[in-house]
Amino acid sequence: MSQVSPSQAPDGTSRDLFALLQVLVVDDIPAIRRLLTQMLQQLGVTAPICQAADGLEAWELLQERLFDVVVCDINMPRMNGLELLKRLRGHPRHEHTPFLLITGEVAEQIVAGAVESEVDGYLLKPFRLPALQRQLTAVLKGRHSPGPGERLLREAHRRLAAGFPDQALDLIHQLPPCRRKKSARVLNLLGECLQARDSPQEAARCFQEALKINPYHQRAAHNLATLLARFPASSPSPDNTPQLP
């Protein structure tokens, strides 16, 4: 394994970027967990690195504390990496936690599931230190300097919170159609905008679609339950469902 200078990661990135990171490593193979821990320490992580043997153990740790990044294998017993990712994205406390998915496969179904759950990056097996460093750097920089789509979503949230759902909808419609219809987070926000515009049936449809993509999305589940309690007739029927905006 290549060595790293005291002040720089392998490609010259400052180790200060990684020094205080709180990292959770999730893999059912102890040797892989140890390897990732050693690599993270070589990159400059000085804080204790937590480990979990599967997604369920990781989820239990996440109930107790926050992490700056989760590095997780996809194939594990009890709870796999994609299910853990969906739980994080569906929980208000962890929905923005950066998530690196480790996989030896690039099957279309796996990639589609990860994209729908808004994974931040991939680490393909067999991986080396420079690949981990590149992915980790990209994830951290993306968190502090979000891309155009994330900026649109954040501004849409602000407009909705300020009482301007029409403006929020205009911003959401600037997102690519594939993201509007395949992201539980976007669909939930879309539903909240429609609910604020007194369109309960269309809002309910959006919340339902969000929950189809991510059954663990707590906010969408809460929004749908609250909406149906207030407007029982707002649940779309199979033969009369509005098209998603």
pLDDT digits (tens, 9 = 90+) for 162-183: 999 999 999 999 988 777 777 8
What's the total number of domains in the chain?
2
- Confidence at residue 57, expressed as pLDDT on a 0 to 100 scale: 96
User: In whole angstroms, how far apart are CA 77 and each of 31, 84, 102, 183, 216?
Assistant: 16, 12, 15, 26, 19
CA 1, CA 13: separation in Å to the nearest integer?
18
**Are both 92 and 120 inside the same structural domain?**
yes
Q: Per-residue pLDDT tens for 78-97?
A: 999 989 998 998 888 888 88
Domain CATH code at residue 116: 3.40.50.2300
Answer whether residue 55 is part of any domain: yes
Token readout for 109 is 């179904």
With a cut of 70, say whether residue 30 has pLDDT above it: yes
Judged by DSSP in three states, 58 sits in helix
Residue by residue, DSSP assigns 76-130 as: -SSS-HHHHHHHHHTSTTTTT--EEEEES---HHHHHHHHHTT--EEEESS--HH
What is the per-residue pLDDT for 233?
62
Q: Up-side HSE of residue 61: CA atoms within 13 Å toward CB? A: 19
Last residue of a domain, one of 108, 129, 144: 144
Domain that holds residue 27: 15-144
Give me the percent of the chain exceeding a pLDDT of 70. 83
Rounded distance between C-alpha atoms, residue 138 and residue 105, angstroms: 21
CATH number of the domain bearing residue 175: 1.25.40.10
Same domain, 131 and 173: no
- Taking a C-beta distance cutoff of 8 angstroms, is the pair 200, 231 a contact? yes
Q: Report if residue 75 sits inside a domain.
A: yes
pLDDT band (50, 70, 90) for residue 31? very high
Q: How confident is the model at residue 47 (pLDDT cuts 50, 70, 90)?
A: very high
Q: What is the pLDDT of residue 1?
A: 38
Residue 107 sits in the same domain as residue 163: no
Mean pLDDT of 54-59: 96
Q: Are the CB atoms for 90 and 184 separated by under 8 Å?
A: yes
pLDDT at 18 over 80: yes
135, 158: one domain? no
pTM value is 0.71
Q: How far apart are CA 7 and CA 21, in angstroms?
A: 16
Kindly state whether residues 125 and 191 are assigned to the same domain. no
Q: State whether residue 68 is helix, strand or coil.
A: coil
Give the end-to-end CA distance of the chain in Å, rounded to a whole number.
51
DSSP annotation of 173:
T
Indicate if the alpha-carbon torsion angle 211, 147, 125, 105 is positive or negative. Answer: positive
Burial class (CB in 10 A: 0-12, 13-18, 19+), 6: exposed
Q: What is the pLDDT of residue 106?
A: 56
- The answer to whether position 67 is within a domain reads yes
